[in-house]
Amino acid sequence: MVRTGEASPVELTEFFLDRLEKLGSKYNAVVTVTRERALESAAKAEKEIENGLYKGFLHGIPFGVKDLLATSGGIPTTWGAAPLKNQVFDYDATVIKKLEEAGAILCAKLAMIELAGGMGYRQPNASFTGPCRNPWNVETWSGGSSSGSGAAVAAGLVPFALGSETWGSILSPANNCGVAGLRPTYGLVSRFGAMPLSWTLDKIGPLCLTADDCGIILEHIAGPDPADPSTSRSFKYEAPNFEREFKLAFFKGVLEGVEEDVSKNFHKALEDLEEVATIEEVEPPEMPYEAIARTIINVESASAFEEFIDSGKASELTAPEDRYPYARMAIPATEYLRALRLRGIACKAVGRLIAPYDAVVAPTSRRAATPIDTEFRSLSPSARDIMGAVGNLAGLPAISIPNGFTRRGLPTGMQFMGSPFSENSIIAVAKVYQSLTDWHERHPQVS
């Protein structure tokens, strides 16, 4: 519609800016509405399209980003943290540059858990903008740490948003808010201009209404960037291949500790998928995946935030448990290197196990959105997150899509995780599932 002139980029942008301004505070989902920059970009896009210079799917389309991506022009980049609420940069993150070059229009910096949850938060109220509320039920949490990105897409405040994941931060809000969220392979998307939490685990990816949209956005943000030495290759989004059955696997024990409604919806989804796929159980090699990932995150975040921590600024953070991130400062270098050595072994073992499959399927989370005022870690303190630990430790891509609702009317999610750089495969499976079901077409009542 934008291409044919039926929809005006300026009108579209004004529509979403108004929604962000009117509804953003209802969910604590927005940090800064970038009205001036957005209207300037929209006017430019409109003129280009009128002159026949249509750049593609994203030309004239508004978007929002998690507020850990640097923006120039005096727009604050707060990292969700009270002591950094006036922080500004004089450059734009590579992913923002890429989207703007494709003609997309930055409309908002979206709320997030302070320092992307790197200080060990245990509750939704861990952001200077307040606990981010879930559009499906404002008394529940949107998930984190890309909280505002999930809530804003679900509530229709932006057509799509960028989030980031070190461990769970894209998939968790996708699960809670009933939207699609894609965690790319480590090194596919430039991290330049993003807050560093853990250099070898941080990934940036899209949250959208459908798996198909995630593929389109990923194509535009992926690619080598001299400013990020971890980036190595481009990504071309290709339509799903329907010529053969998909081959799926699920990890033994993945349903341990999973809520009844989540389990029920997952089993139903597997039945639906049996129309287009074979599904087998596999057992990941026994390794301390969580311990390795936690050690790497602890040490890399200790280094990234050493100055912040030593300055005492952590004491100004919102969640009391985030104010004392001192234990990680004492981890010996030999333990970090042990974690990196074990990581190599784990990556090979998991890589070999999942290579024959298009994707490993699992519930995205053990549960649907939790109450806004509850410490979520206290609900199942000893539960393991094998998919999150393996996937993030080994740098594997995953996509979460909605697969039903609980009896309380909250969305549940299902994830497809694949081999490195197999984004087209996992998106294809998710897209086919979405062609068989209509969960992604249901949206919360927003007033």
Q: Are 245 and 280 in contact (CB under 8 A)?
A: no
Q: Are 424 and 214 in contact (CB under 8 A)?
A: no
- SS3 of residue 237 by DSSP: coil
Catalytic: 232?
Answer: no
Q: Determine how β-strand 180-183 pairs with β-strand 246-251.
A: unpaired
How far is Cα 121 from Cα 115, in angstroms, rounded to an integer?
A: 10
Query: Among the candidate windows 55-63, 99-107, 213-221, 344-352, which touches another protein by CB under 8 A?
Result: 344-352
Q: Which amino acid is at 327?
A: A
Q: What angle do CA 104, 233, 293 make, to 5 degrees?
A: 95
How far is Cα 421 from Cα 183, in angstroms, rounded to an integer?
A: 11
Residue of the chain from 73, 74, 253, 320 that contacts another protein (CB under 8 A)? 320
Contact between 328 and another protein by CB under 8 A: the answer reads: yes
Query: Among the candidate windows 16-24, 131-139, 257-265, 327-335, which touches another protein by CB under 8 A?
Result: 327-335
Residue of the chain from 40, 48, 261, 290 that contacts another protein (CB under 8 A)? 290
Residue of the chain from 282, 291, 355, 383 that contacts another protein (CB under 8 A)? 291
Contact between 329 and another protein by CB under 8 A: the answer reads: yes
Q: Which is nearer to another protein, 287 or 379 (CB)?
A: 287
Residue of the chain from 52, 226, 244, 407 that contacts another protein (CB under 8 A)? 226
Among candidate residues 159, 231, 157, the one with its CA nearest the CA of residue 193:
231
Q: What angle do CA 419, 257, 318 make, to 5 degrees?
A: 85
Catalytic: 264?
Answer: no
Closest contact distance (angstroms) between CB of 118 and another protein is 13
DSSP state, 257? T
Catalytic: 303?
Answer: no
How far is Cα 200 from Cα 187, in angstroms, rounded to an integer?
A: 9
How far is Cα 181 from Cα 149, in angstroms, rounded to an integer?
A: 10
Q: Are 415 and 362 in contact (CB under 8 A)?
A: yes
What is the size of the binding site for another protein (CB under 8 A)? 36
Residue of the chain from 59, 98, 203, 343 that contacts another protein (CB under 8 A)? 343
Contact between 173 and another protein by CB under 8 A: the answer reads: no
Among candidate residues 188, 216, 217, 215, the one with its CA nearest the CA of residue 203:
188
Q: Which is nearer to another protein, 294 or 443 (CB)?
A: 294
Please tell me which residue in 169, 365, 419, 422 is annotated as part of the active site.
Answer: 169
Contact between 52 and another protein by CB under 8 A: the answer reads: no
Q: Which is nearer to another protein, 117 or 411 (CB)?
A: 117
Residue of the chain from 18, 236, 326, 435 that contacts another protein (CB under 8 A)? 326
Contact between 383 and another protein by CB under 8 A: the answer reads: no
Name the site residues for another protein (rule: CB under 8 A): 120, 200, 226, 229, 287-288, 290-292, 294-295, 298, 312, 315, 320-321, 323-331, 335, 337-345, 347
